[in-house]
A and B are shown apart, each in its own frame.
Chain A
Amino acid sequence: MNPKISDLDVAALLLLRLGPLNGALDDLARISGLAGGEQLRRIMRGEEPLPLKNSVALASACGIPAVTLAYSALAEAFPDAHAALKEAWGGELPMHERRLLEIYRACGVASEIDLDLEASDRVAVALVHGFGGA
C-alpha cells in the first residue's frame, strides 16, 4: 500500500479534517467547486459521493494530500474502475522502461498490440539484438 493512500473513506477523511470547522464549510465548498456547504456536509456524512472532479480542489482547500482524497473518491464513485486499476499502478519506472512503453504505445492505433507468444518472442529478439547479444 502506498503510504499516501488511506484506508479511510472520503467521509472519514473529511470529517477528521473538517469536523471542527463547521462554520467554514460553505467557503471550503465554494472554493472546491461544490454546490455549497450542505453538499459538503452530505459528503462528510457519507450520504453522497464526492464528485471526482472536485476531489483535488477540495483536498487542496482543506490540507489533505490530493492523491489520498482523489484515490478514495475514485474508489467510492467508480468502484469498478478502481478495482480494475488497483493492482495495475506501475509505480515509478526508470527512464528506459518509460521509453519502452512510449514506443509500444505509439505502435498501436487506438488499441493495443497484443503481446502473444509470437509478438513477445519478436520483442525479445529485438531487445537482445539491440543490446548487442547477437
Chain B
Amino acid sequence: MNTTKEAASMSPHRPPITVQAVVAKLLEDSGKTQREIAIEMGFPKPNVLSMIKLGQTKLPLDKAAALAIACGGDPVFLIRLALSEYHPNVWHTLVSALGEPLTKNERSLLEIHRTIDPDGDLEIDGKMERELVAALQDTAEPDPADPIAAALRYLRSRGR
C-alpha cells in the first residue's frame, strides 16, 4: 500500500476558477510568447491577450478553442468555463439536458474507472478519495512491491 509523502488537502471553500486565471495559466504554461499565440489565434495584436489575462476584457467565446489549442490545452476545458462564467443560464440549460462536456483527460479518467468498476456500484469513500488525490497530485511514495503497480508496469513493457 502506498503511503502519502505529504498531506494532499483540498480546501472545501476553494474560490471558483475564472476564465481570467485559466487564460493566465495557459499563457504561462504554453512556452510561447503572447505574440506567437495571438498570431496562431488570428488576433491582430497580442495586447488583447494581456487584457484578457488582466481581466480588462472578456475572452471572445469564438476564440476560446483557438486559444486553448495554441497553448496546448484542451478546448473543452476553456470553452465550458467561459460558457458557465459568461452565460450561466445558457450553460445550466445545456448541461441539464446534455450533461457536462468532458475533456479528453476526464473521458480517460472515466474509462479507467469503468474498466475497474464496470458495474459502477462501488462508492468512493474518504480513503479512496485520499488515495486518488495522492495519485493525481503524484504525492504518493511508490511501493515497488505493489502487485497492481507491478502488473501495470509489466503490461506497459509489453506495449499494452
B128 x A122 contact (CB < 8 A): no
Chain A contact residue count (CB 8 A cutoff):
60
Residue in B79, B106, B134 whose beta carbon sits within 8 Å of that of A126 in the complex: B134
Does B51 sit at the interface, judged by CB under 8 A? Answer: no
B146 x A125 contact (CB < 8 A): yes
Residue in A77, A119, A129, A131 whose beta carbon sits within 8 Å of that of B117 in the complex: A131
Does B14 sit at the interface, judged by CB under 8 A? Answer: yes
Does B48 sit at the interface, judged by CB under 8 A? Answer: no
For B149, list chain A residues within 8 Å (CB): 121, 125
Please provide the chain A residues from 25 to 80 with a CB less than 8 Å away from any CB of chain B in the complex.
52-53, 55-56, 66-67, 70-71, 73-74, 77-80
Q: A107-B10, A125-B148 given as contacts; is B61 within 8 A of A81 (CB)?
A: yes
Q: Could you tell me the dominant secondary structure of chain B's interface residues?
A: helix
A91 to chain B, nearest CB (A): 4
B129 to chain A, nearest CB (A): 6
Residue in B21, B105, B116 whose beta carbon sits within 8 Å of that of A113 in the complex: B105
Does B109 sit at the interface, judged by CB under 8 A? Answer: yes
B110 x A106 contact (CB < 8 A): no
For B73, list chain A residues within 8 Å (CB): 111-112
A73 to B110, CA, bound (A): 30
Residue in A71, A73, A89, A131 whose beta carbon sits within 8 Å of that of B99 in the complex: A89
Task: Give A96-134 as 1s and 0s: 1 = Cβ < 8 Å from B's Cβ atoms.
Answer: 110111011011011111110101111111111111011
Does A22 sit at the interface, judged by CB under 8 A? Answer: no
Does B38 sit at the interface, judged by CB under 8 A? Answer: no
For B135, list chain A residues within 8 Å (CB): 119, 122-123, 125-126
For B138, list chain A residues within 8 Å (CB): 119, 122
For B89, list chain A residues within 8 Å (CB): 56
Task: Give A11-23 as 1s and 0s: 1 = Cβ < 8 Å from B's Cβ atoms.
Answer: 0000000000000
Task: Give B93-108 as 1s and 0s: 1 = Cβ < 8 Å from A's Cβ atoms.
Answer: 1101111111101111
Does B85 sit at the interface, judged by CB under 8 A? Answer: no
Contact surface of A with B, Cβ cutoff 8 Å:
2, 4-5, 52-53, 55-56, 66-67, 70-71, 73-74, 77-81, 83-85, 88-94, 96-97, 99-101, 103-104, 106-107, 109-115, 117, 119-131, 133-134
8 pairs of residues in contact across A and B, judged by CB atoms under 8 Å: A53-B87, A56-B90, A67-B94, A78-B62, A88-B76, A104-B106, A107-B136, A131-B128
